[in-house]
Structure 1
Amino acid sequence: MVTLKNLSVEDPEESGLPLLPEAKNIEQAAVTNGKTELRKFFISRETNLCLSLVLLLGCYSAVLIPAYLPKEQPVWENGSLQGRDTVLLNRSASLLARECRPGWCGERLRSAALCLRLPEIPVFLQEGRAEWAQPPPLGLQDSEERAARTLQTLPQRGPPPGLGGGGCSRCVVVGSGGVLLGSRLGGHIDQYDVIIRMNNAPVFGFERDAGSRTTIRLMYPEAAPQSPREYQNTAIVALVVFKSLDLEWLASVVTKESLGWWSKLWFWRNVVESVPLQPENFRILNPEVLHQTSLALQTYAKQQRKMVPTLGASAVVMALQLCDEVSLAGFGYDLQHPDAPLHYYESLRMDAMKSQVVHDVSAEKVFLRELVAAQVVTDLTGAL
């Protein structure tokens, strides 16, 4: 009861009088309607689960389906693939048809006065301890004893059979560049005396463009081909030592003894434990080849620093020491066109090279271009 100037107003809540039945019904209806509205606002668990699954599948489809749709394959701008095929094939055929010129690469290299000194050492590591001023991959500093032990497992350490016998030899270094795709150079590549490949670049399924046999495959453990068939028609597998542990891997492969689990942990990806070749088919690349390649590339680099060359550039320098004539196929990065295929055997695009910081591919391209311009080597695919 509230009293204002002799006036009294009775508070209904303080009143002891019961509510009318109609009022009770109205109040209950209001509560029921409120609960109903809340149920309508919040969906059921079953409906929520279904919608979540639909949204999840939709997101996965938006991401995955475009990756499997056919894409238009970009062409190289250094000459149309269609327009240059006949010219390049004819030039390659005429090169193979003429007599091999003994000592051609060495003579051209000396007359061109390029910043490349071919080391007067064996291409493959030989018996005997040497003092190395650089750690792997540019040397064997602090890994000499491990290298000596691995060499003991190799019955042969010289060049492949047929080289060094006094005859004239032709080499072709087959790069992994996308420019090789559609080149139809496979039959020409197979006619060379020495065919050099790098890492896991496949042969099986790409014989028409890349050839079918391999004389020397340069590789390190993490980049070794996983498929046993890629070692068919292969004369030599040559290890490129990037770290001391790589020597242990080679010894385990040659002797067929399993590599310890602790050693396996230090590889940045799973490595093959078996290579279907005989012990006499293995070699170790002399690190001085990479060292001299690195010194030559520093001349063309914008920033002077210790440079680790790609296996492609190192293979070219190795070929210049082994053979009288050297040709290149599948070399040349078209960095101006990021959608161009990076490799001939996968869908990776050219812009992937921008993320790597180990190699200076721009300096390597200038270096290889000068070799081509000086007629030290021949570019079969015309992308340099």
Structure 2
Amino acid sequence: MKPTHKLLFVLCSMLVLGFMYYSSGKLHLFVWGQKSRKYPLYDKQGFLLQLDIKLPPELMYKYGNLSEGACKPGYAAAKMSTIYPKFVKPAPMFLDRNFKRLGKVNNYLPPFGFKTQERVIDGILMETKYYGLGDKLDSLTCKRCIIVGNGGILANKSLGSKIDGYDVVVRLNEAPVSGYSKDVGTKTTMRITYPEGAIQKPENYEKGSLFVFSAFKPLDFKWLRHMVFKEKLRGVEGFWKSVAHAVPREASEMRILNPYFIQEAAFQFIGLPFNNGVMGKGNIPTLGTVAITMALHNCDEVAVAGFGYDMSMPHAPLHYYETVKMSAIKESWTHNISKEKEFLRKLVKANVITDLTRGI
């Protein structure tokens, strides 16, 4: 080979190698760039920062092929898992006789568990005997649930018939139905409450609804035992306000809400202070958020109504059933309303839940 040919060969080889090196570098950068864009970014609670992400194609196909208005099986959990990969659906709604096997709550005192109250709970559950929503609802392959909050935003919205159209209607504490049915509906599947929040006048209880108890302190279980066994309540020391002395429900119509939902809402979803797993300043979620957390695990579609405090409207009604104004809200020792609202907004923005009154 002539020297000039050798030189050309070497030069060509170098050019080819240089081009390959350059191309591979560009390719590497491109692929790396693509990958970096695909890696999702999460907030400190583990939620995606980009909340409008779509469902996987197979789920889009599944739900897209359902007829309009049909219940979407597993939809809430699928959406929740998309924005919060740590979400695990199985979590029983109520405690049953196997409650001691629930590992995530048996080492915590109320409200985050049932430690020290096992004997009392076991006695109550032996008396109640039933641990589900009832045969008709438990047999549904797809359940649409709505949590009805107590907010004044419900007033004059005429959502009553729409609320009654859900399979499961959850109400909170003493919020009345009678006299407000046009806005809040007439149907009550369950009413979740605690001693200080329970309806005190027996005539105000709706027939056919479940009385669902949520404990926030050990003393609450003692109160529930008196209600279940129809015992006279002696002494009310330890409660922060007056409590009901009787609940007009048979034991078979009473349930104990799984305390895991309080724990999960507080520490995983909202990011409230752990405080060694003990009730403390600003680490208790509101009952409304606890109910929504419960529904995410046990309902296929979840809606809410009557949620959201608009502090920019101090003269607006705080609750739909009374004249107390928004300005009456003071800083809460137990709740962190702003952090809670931030969590609920994530669920609404990602279409995990539907907000009928658009107050979140």
TM interval, shorter chain, is 0.7 to 0.9
Superposed displacement of residue 164, structure 1: 3.5
SS state at 1:256 partner: coil
Residue identity matched to 2:152: G
**RMSD, aligned CA:** 2.1
SS state at 2:314 partner: coil
Partner of 2:46 in structure 1?
A: none
Partner of 1:277 in structure 2?
A: 249
Q: Quote the Cα distance in structure 2 between the aligned partners of 1:141 and 1:375.
A: 36
Partner of 1:56 in structure 2?
A: none
- Corresponding position: 1:117 with 2:92: no
SS state at 2:87 partner: coil
Identity %: 39
Superposed displacement of residue 159, structure 1: 3.1
Superposed displacement of residue 335, structure 1: 1.9
Superposed displacement of residue 119, structure 1: 6.0
Superposed displacement of residue 297, structure 1: 3.9
Segment drifting more, 223-232 vs 212-221: 223-232
- Corresponding position: 1:248 with 2:222: yes
Superposed displacement of residue 166, structure 1: 4.6
User: Residues 190 and 211 of structure 2 are in contact (CA less than 8 Å); yes or no, is this contact kept in structure 1?
Assistant: yes
Q: 1:254 to 1:201 in 2, by over 3 A?
A: same
Superposed displacement of residue 366, structure 1: 1.1
Q: Quote the Cα distance in structure 1 between the aligned partners of 2:208 and 2:225.
A: 19
Partner of 1:359 in structure 2?
A: 335
User: Residues 213 and 234 of structure 1 are in contact (CA less than 8 Å); yes or no, is this contact kept in structure 2?
Assistant: no
After superposition, give the CA deviation of every residue in 1:122-174 in whole Å (9 maximum; x if it has no partner): 11011133562221111112222222222222121223443342521110100
* Structure (1 or 2) with the larger CA radius of gyration: 1
User: Residues 150 and 175 of structure 2 are in contact (CA less than 8 Å); yes or no, is this contact kept in structure 1?
Assistant: yes
Partner of 2:151 in structure 1?
A: 177
Count of residues in correspondence between the two structures:
284
Partner of 2:64 in structure 1?
A: none
User: Residues 163 and 322 of structure 1 are in contact (CA less than 8 Å); yes or no, is this contact kept in structure 2?
Assistant: no
User: Residues 160 and 236 of structure 1 are in contact (CA less than 8 Å); yes or no, is this contact kept in structure 2?
Assistant: no
Q: Pairwise mapping of residues 15-54 of structure 1 onto structure 2 (< 5 A)? A: none
Q: Pairwise mapping of residues 88-99 of structure 1 onto structure 2 (< 5 A)? A: 98-99=69-70
User: Residues 147 and 171 of structure 2 are in contact (CA less than 8 Å); yes or no, is this contact kept in structure 1?
Assistant: yes
Q: Quote the Cα distance in structure 1 between the aligned partners of 2:146 and 2:68.
A: 15
Structure 1 gap ranges (5+): 1-95
User: Residues 170 and 189 of structure 2 are in contact (CA less than 8 Å); yes or no, is this contact kept in structure 1?
Assistant: yes
SS state at 1:217 partner: strand
Partner of 2:286 in structure 1?
A: 310
Q: 1:187 to 1:166 in 2, by over 3 A?
A: closer
Residue identity matched to 2:207: N
Partner of 1:145 in structure 2?
A: 119
Q: Quote the Cα distance in structure 1 between the aligned partners of 2:359 and 2:270.
A: 22
- Stretches of 4+ aligned residues off by more than 6 angstroms: none
Q: Pairwise mapping of residues 186-201 of structure 1 onto structure 2 (< 5 A)? A: 186-201=160-175
Q: Quote the Cα distance in structure 2 between the aligned partners of 1:366 and 1:304.
A: 18
Q: Quote the Cα distance in structure 2 between the aligned partners of 1:296 and 1:369.
A: 15
Q: Pairwise mapping of residues 216-365 of structure 1 onto structure 2 (< 5 A)? A: 216-259=190-233, 261-262=234-235, 264-299=236-271, 307-365=283-341
User: Residues 213 and 233 of structure 1 are in contact (CA less than 8 Å); yes or no, is this contact kept in structure 2?
Assistant: no
- 2:77 equivalent among 99, 106, 113: 106
Q: Quote the Cα distance in structure 2 between the aligned partners of 1:353 and 1:162.
A: 40
- Corresponding position: 1:381 with 2:360: no
User: Residues 119 and 292 of structure 1 are in contact (CA less than 8 Å); yes or no, is this contact kept in structure 2?
Assistant: no
- 2:129 equivalent among 152, 155, 159: 155
- Corresponding position: 1:202 with 2:176: yes
Superposed displacement of residue 238, structure 1: 0.7
Residue identity matched to 1:211: G
Structure 2 gap ranges (5+): 1-66
Q: Quote the Cα distance in structure 1 between the aligned partners of 2:296 and 2:208.
A: 20
SS state at 1:372 partner: helix
SS state at 1:354 partner: coil
Residue identity matched to 1:348: V
Q: TM-score, normalised by structure 2?
A: 0.74
Q: Quote the Cα distance in structure 1 between the aligned partners of 2:333 and 2:91.
A: 30
SS state at 2:265 partner: helix
